[in-house]
Amino acid sequence: MKEARICIIATIITAIIICSCAYTMPAKAEAARPEFYPKLTVVFETEKVSDYWIISCVDKSQNIWTFYDDEGTWEKGDIANLLMWATGENEEDDEIIEVYWEGYTENINLFFQINGWR
């Protein structure tokens, strides 16, 4: 019986500590950008430079992002999902960590209109 009381008291104290920690943590006034996030883009230009390609793509906000490709597999109209790393407060300073092929569109302008990008 004595052991049961000790377990119950310890459980109650633990629950109180957990609840008090939850209420004392400050709430953020602004939601910060996540450290890593995806960005859907469409390739609009590929340029061969010596033995690699520079791939240029555009996102919903008309920002242009570029990355290198050593295989030459990207084409104009490819839909690229970029895994971005937030390096600071400005999105323009963020870096592309990984690139994933998501599909292809023959009409880039129609793709933009359907998705409400323009």
Least confident of 20-24, 65-69, 77-81, 92-96: 20-24
CA dihedral 74, 75, 76, 82 (to 10 degrees): -20
| 41, β-bridge pairs | 59, 80
pLDDT level of residue 29 (50, 70, 90 thresholds)? very low
CATH number for 36-114 (one of 1.10.357, 3.10.100, 2.40.50, 1.20.120): it is 2.40.50
Helices (H), 1-118: 2-24, 108-114
Q: At a CB cut-off of 8 Å and minimum separation 6, what does 84 contact?
A: 36, 37, 38, 39, 94, 95, 96, 97
Give me the mean pLDDT over the 83-91 stretch: 88
